[in-house]
C-alpha cells in the first residue's frame, strides 16, 4: 500500500507512506508506488496513528436501560444498577454487545482499547465473554483486559480468588478500586496486595483510584509508593483520580513529583468525570476531572478514556475518541495550541504508552495502523470531530467513509460547504 500526500500530526505535509508486510517501510515526499500497490490518495488530509482508548468497560457497554436507567446520575447508583444487571447477564448477550461496540470502534479509527472486566461474579461470565471477544477482534483491535473487582477486592466475598482466576485465564492487567473498600485502611491494603501480585507476575496495574470528590481519598499516594518500591515504573496507571480535583494545593504540590518519580500513568475520563462528579455540590459545582495540565507539566503521562458508552453510568457516547478529547480540552481549559495538541495525544500516543503497545506510531518499522481524518491538523480534528475517511490496520483497509459535505452554499463558493475553510 502507498498512502499519497498526507499531512502528519507534527505538521509535515505532502508526505507519502509506504507499507510492506503490515509495517511502515518508508515515509517521506514523493515515494514511488511499487507495482500492484494499493494507492490511497490522502488528498492532504491528516494521517494519524489510530485512536487508543486507555479506559473502558466493554462488559457493560450498550446495556443502557437494562433493567432500568440511572435516575440520580451518580457513580454509586451506577454501581448498584450494574449489580442488578449482573445476575441477568448471559455470555451470548455480553459477546454480542461487545462486538457491536467493536464495530463502532473500528469505524471511528479506534483500534486499541483497554477494558476493565468485572471479576466480582463467581461464574466469571464477563471474563470469559471478553476473552472470547479479545480473540475474535484480534485482527482488528488490540483489546487489553483488566481484572477489575468492581465491588471491592476486600469488600466483596471471593473477589481476590476470582481476580487471580481471571489472570490465570489470560486477563492482562491487575485492577482494583481502593476508594470503594470499607475503610481507607482496607483501600491501602488492597493497593499493596494488587501491586505485589502484579510484580510477582510481571503484569501491569490499572486501578480505579480515588474516583470521588472527597479530597481525603489519597490512594494515589499509596499507588505511587508501591510502584516505586516494587520497580514498577511505567507499568502502573491511576485511573480517574478525581479526588485530586478537590485536594489541597499544598498536598498536590508534594504528590505530583511522587507520581512522576514512580512513573505512574494517569487516565482521566472527561465525559464521565464531568457527569458523575460534583453531584452533591450546590453552586459553584466542581468539575471533578483530575488536574490534567498540572500532571503533564510534572512529567506524568496522561491519557483520556471513554470509560462508558450507553451503560449504567452513561447513556451517551459512540466510540468517538475525538469527542472524549474535546470534552477533556473544555473541562481542563486546555485551549492553547500546544494544549490542544496534548489533548489529541491523550487519545493517541499517550494512551498507547499506557497500554504499552508495541510498534505504535507513524515511523518506519511501526505497524501499519492508521486513520485518515478529514482535517488539516489535530486541533481541526478536535473542532470538527473529523470524519474518519480511511481506517487501516496492518496495511489493510478496514473502513472507509465518504468526505462529509453538504451542498447548501450561502457563501457562494464553487464547491460544497467546507468546514475546513474560513474566509479570514
CB nearer to Fe ion: give 172 or 307: 307
CB nearer to Fe ion: give 307 or 320: 307
CB of 221 to Fe ion, least distance (A): 20
| Element spanning 268, H or E | strand 265-268
Residues comprising the chain, all counted: 424
- As a whole number of Å, the end-to-end CA separation of the chain is 37
Q: How far apart, in whole angstroms, are the C-alpha atoms of residue 368 and residue 1?
A: 10
Q: Cβ contacts of residue 187 below 8 Å, gap of 6+?
A: 178, 179, 180, 181, 219, 222
In this structure, are residues 376 and 45 in contact, taking their beta carbons and an 8 Å threshold?
A: yes
CB of 208 to Fe ion, least distance (A): 5
Q: Using the Cα atoms of residue 272, residue 273, residue 274 and residue 277 in order, give the sign of their dihedral.
A: positive
Residue 181 touches Fe ion, criterion: CB under 5 A = no
Active site residue 71: no
- Binding-site size for Fe ion (CB under 5 A) equals 1
Binding mask 187-206 for Fe ion (x = CB under 5 A): --------------------
- Residue that the C-alpha cell 453552586 belongs to: 283
* Residue whose C-beta lies closest to Fe ion: 307
CB nearer to Fe ion: give 63 or 374: 63
CB nearer to Fe ion: give 307 or 369: 307
CB of 269 to Fe ion, least distance (A): 6
Q: Which three cell numbers stand for residue 347?
A: 487519545
Considering only residues 291-320, where is the footprint of Fe ion by CB under 5 A?
307
CB of 267 to Fe ion, least distance (A): 9
CB of 57 to Fe ion, least distance (A): 6
The 10 Å Cβ neighbour count of residue 364 is: 13
Q: Which three cell numbers stand for residue 298?
A: 510534572
DSSP assignment, residue 340?
H
Binding mask 264-293 for Fe ion (x = CB under 5 A): ------------------------------
Q: How far apart, in whole angstroms, are the C-alpha atoms of residue 398 and residue 159?
A: 39
CB nearer to Fe ion: give 210 or 307: 307
Q: Which of 21, 92, 211, 363 is catalytic?
A: 211
Q: How far apart, in whole angstroms, are the C-alpha atoms of residue 412 and residue 185?
A: 67
Kindly list the catalytic residues: 211
Interface with Fe ion (CB under 5 A): 307
Amino acid at each position: 500500500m502507498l498512502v499519497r500526500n498526507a499531512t502528519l500530526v507534527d505538521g509535515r505535509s505532502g508526505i507519502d507512506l509506504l507499507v510492506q508486510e503490515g509495517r511502515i517501510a518508508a515515509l517521506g515526499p514523493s515515494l514511488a508506488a511499487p507495482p500492484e500497490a494499493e494507492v490511497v490518495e490522502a488528498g492532504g488530509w491528516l494521517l494519524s496513528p489510530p485512536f487508543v482508548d486507555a479506559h473502558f468497560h466493554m462488559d457493560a457497554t450498550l446495556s443502557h436501560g437494562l433493567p432500568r436507567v440511572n435516575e440520580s446520575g451518580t457513580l454509586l447508583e451506577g454501581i448498584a444498577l450494574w449489580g442488578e444487571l449482573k445476575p441477568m447477564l448471559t455470555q451470548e448477550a455480553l459477546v454480542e454487545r461487545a462486538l457491536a461496540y467493536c464495530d463502532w470502534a473500528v469505524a471511528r479509527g479506534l483500534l486499541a482499547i483497554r477494558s476493565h472486566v468485572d471479576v466480582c461474579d463467581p461464574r466469571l461470565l464477563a471474563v470469559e465473554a471478553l476473552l472470547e471477544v479479545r480473540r475474535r477482534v484480534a485482527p482488528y483491535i488490540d483489546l487489553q483486559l483488566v481484572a477489575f473487582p468492581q465491588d471491592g477486592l476486600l469488600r466483596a466475598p471471593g473477589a481476590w480468588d476470582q481476580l487471580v482466576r481471571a489472570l490465570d485465564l489470560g486477563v492482562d492487567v491487575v485492577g482494583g478500586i481502593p476508594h470503594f473498600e470499607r475503610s481507607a485502611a482496607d483501600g491501602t491494603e488492597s493497593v499493596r496486595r494488587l501491586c505485589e501480585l502484579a510484580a510477582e507476575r510481571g503484569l501491569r496495574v490499572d486501578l480505579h483510584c480515588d474516583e470521588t470528590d472527597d479530597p481525603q481519598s489519597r490512594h494515589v499516594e499509596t499507588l505511587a509508593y508501591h510502584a516505586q518500591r516494587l520497580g514498577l515504573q511505567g507499568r502502573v496507571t491511576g485511573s480517574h483520580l478525581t479526588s485530586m480535583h478537590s485536594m489541597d494545593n499544598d498536598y498536590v504540590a508534594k504528590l505530583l513529583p511522587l507520581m512522576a518519580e514512580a512513573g505512574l500513568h494517569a487516565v482521566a475520563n472527561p465525559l464521565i468525570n464531568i457527569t458523575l462528579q460534583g453531584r452533591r455540590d450546590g453552586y459553584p459545582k466542581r468539575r471533578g476531572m483530575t488536574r490534567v495540565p498540572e500532571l503533564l507539566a510534572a512529567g506524568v503521562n496522561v491519557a483520556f478514556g471513554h470509560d462508558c458508552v450507553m451503560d449504567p453510568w452513561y447513556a451517551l457516547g459512540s466510540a468517538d475518541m475525538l469527542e472524549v478529547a474535546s470534552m477533556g480540552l473544555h473541562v481542563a481549559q486546555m485551549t492553547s495550541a500546544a494544549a490542544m495538541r496534548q489533548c489529541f495525544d491523550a487519545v493517541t500516543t499517550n494512551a498507547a504508552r499506557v497500554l504499552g503497545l508495541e510498534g505504535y506510531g507513524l515511523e518506519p518499522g511501526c505497524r501499519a495502523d492508521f486513520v485518515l481524518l478529514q482535517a488539516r491538523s489535530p486541533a481541526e480534528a478536535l473542532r470538527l470531530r473529523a470524519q474518519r475517511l480511511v481506517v487501516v490496520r496492518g496495511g489493510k483497509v478496514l473502513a472507509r467513509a465518504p468526505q462529509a459535505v453538504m451542498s447548501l452554499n450561502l457563501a457562494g463558493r464553487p464547491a460544497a460547504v467546507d468546514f475546513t475553510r474560513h474566509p479570514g
